[in-house]
Structure 1
Amino acid sequence: MDGTLVDSMPTHARSWEAFTRRHGIDMSVAEVLARTTGRNGVECIRELMGADTPEARALELIAEKEAIYRDLFASQFREVRGVSDFIRAARERGIRCGIATAGDRHNIAFTLGHLKLAQAPDAIVGGDEGLPGKPDPALFLEAARRMGAQASQCIVFEDAPFGIEAARRAGMRAVSICTTHTAAELGGAHVIAQAPDFLDLANKNFLETLHA
Structure 2
Amino acid sequence: MKPSLIFDMDGVLVDNTPYQARAFQLLFRDLGLTTNARQLLRRLNGMPATDILKTVFRNPVPEKKLKEYASQREFLYRTLYWTKRRAMPGLLPFLEAARAAGFKIGLGTGSAPETITYIIDHLDLRRYFDVVVGKDDVDKGKPHADTFTAVATKLGAKPENCIVFEDAVLGEQAAYKAGMRVVAVASSLKEKDFQAPLAVIKDFTGFTPERLLELLEQQAQAPKPDKQRAQRQYMHL
Q: TM-score, normalised by structure 1?
A: 0.90
- Residues 93-126 of structure 1: CA deviation (Å, up to 9, x unaligned): 1111111111111210000122212724211111
Higher relative contact order (Cα pairs below 8 Å, separated by 6+ residues): 2
Contact 1:98 1:122 (C-alpha < 8 Å) held by counterparts: yes
Question: Which amino acid in structure 2 is aligned with residue 138 of structure 1?
Answer: D
Contact 2:185 2:203 (C-alpha < 8 Å) held by counterparts: yes
- Residues 60-99 of structure 1: CA deviation (Å, up to 9, x unaligned): 2111101111111111112211111111111111111111
1:122-201 aligned within 5 A: 122-188=130-196, 191-201=197-207
Which structure features the higher share of helix residues?
1
Q: TM-score, normalised by structure 2?
A: 0.81
Q: How far 1:205 sits from its partner (Å)? A: 4.4
Rate the CA distance shift 1:134–1:50 in 2: closer, same or farther, 3 A.
Answer: farther
Question: Which amino acid in structure 1 is aligned with residue 131 of structure 2?
Answer: A
Rate the CA distance shift 1:11–1:77 in 2: closer, same or farther, 3 A.
Answer: same
- Residues 4-37 of structure 1: CA deviation (Å, up to 9, x unaligned): 1101001111111111111111211233213431
SS at match of 2:139: coil
Q: How high is the sequence identity, in percent, across the aligned residues?
A: 31
SS at match of 1:80: coil
Contact 2:198 2:216 (C-alpha < 8 Å) held by counterparts: no
Q: How many residues align?
A: 209
Give the whole-Å Cα distance in 2 for the aligned partners of 1:84 and 1:77: 14
Give the whole-Å Cα distance in 1 for the aligned partners of 2:18 and 2:97: 28
Give the whole-Å Cα distance in 2 for the aligned partners of 1:211 and 1:15: 37
Give the whole-Å Cα distance in 2 for the aligned partners of 1:29 and 1:177: 20
Give the whole-Å Cα distance in 2 for the aligned partners of 1:55 and 1:96: 37
Rate the CA distance shift 1:24–1:118 in 2: closer, same or farther, 3 A.
Answer: closer
Q: How far 1:211 sits from its partner (Å)? A: 8.6
Q: How far 1:174 sits from its partner (Å)? A: 0.5
Correspondence for 1:44? 52
Contact 2:16 2:81 (C-alpha < 8 Å) held by counterparts: yes
